[in-house]
C-alpha cells in the first residue's frame, strides 16, 4: 500500500525545469521586452533568428551540463538584469561557450534580410 502512495505523490510532482523550455521562455520574454525599444528593421532581424537563439542556448545548457540552479534561474528570469544574474552562476567555461554560440547567431541578425537591401536598385 505504501508503494502506491509514493507512486501517486511522485506522479503529481512537477519535473525539474529542462533546458529547452527554460531557454525558450527566457528568449521570448527578453525579445518581447526589447522589441519596444528596437527599430522595426532590428526587430525583424531578431525575430528571424529567434529560433536559432533558442536552439544554441539550449544546446549550450545541455552539452555544458548547466546546474539545476542555473536552469531554474533562467526559467524565472523576467528581465535582462535577472538573466545577467543567471549568467553569473555559470562556470567560466560554460559562460564562454554560451557567449561564443550566441555571438555566432547574433552575427546573423546584423546581416541584411533576404530581399531587403541586398540588391542595388536598377539604373
Quote the number of domains for the chain.
1
Whether the Cβ atoms of residue 66 and residue 19 lie closer than 8 Å to each other:
yes
pTM of model > 0.75: no
Alpha carbon distance 52, 27 (integer Å) = 10
Residue 57 located in a structural domain:
yes
Instruction: Please report how the helices 68-76 and 19-35 are oriented relative to each other, as an axis angle in degrees rounded to 10.
Output: 30
- Does 2 reside within a domain? no
Q: What is the pLDDT of residue 115?
A: 54
- Which residues span the domain enclosing 50? 15-109
What does the pLDDT read at residue 35? 84
**C-alpha distances in Å from residue 21, one per residue of 18, 26, 60, 71:** 6, 8, 13, 9
Please tell me the predicted confidence (pLDDT) of residue 114.
56
At 113 the pLDDT is 54
Q: What is the mean pLDDT of each run of 10 residues along the chain (123 residues)?
A: 40 61 95 87 87 95 97 94 95 96 85 50 40
Q: How many CB atoms lie within 10 A of CB 38?
A: 14
**How high is the pLDDT of residue 16?**
47
In a domain, 116, yes or no: no
Amino acid at each position: 500500500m505504501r508503494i502506491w502512495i509514493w507512486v501517486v505523490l511522485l506522479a503529481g510532482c512537477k519535473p525539474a525545469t529542462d533546458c529547452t523550455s527554460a531557454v525558450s521562455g527566457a528568449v521570448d520574454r527578453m525579445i518581447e521586452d526589447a522589441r519596444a525599444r528596437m527599430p522595426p528593421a532590428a526587430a525583424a532581424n531578431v525575430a528571424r533568428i529567434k529560433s536559432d537563439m533558442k536552439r544554441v542556448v539550449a544546446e549550450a545548457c545541455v552539452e555544458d551540463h548547466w546546474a539545476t540552479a542555473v536552469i531554474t534561474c533562467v526559467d524565472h528570469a523576467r528581465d535582462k538584469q535577472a538573466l545577467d544574474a543567471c549568467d553569473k552562476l555559470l562556470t567560466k567555461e560554460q559562460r564562454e561557450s554560451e557567449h561564443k554560440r550566441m555571438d555566432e547567431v547574433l552575427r546573423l541578425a546584423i546581416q541584411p534580410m533576404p530581399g531587403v537591401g541586398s540588391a542595388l536598385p536598377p539604373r
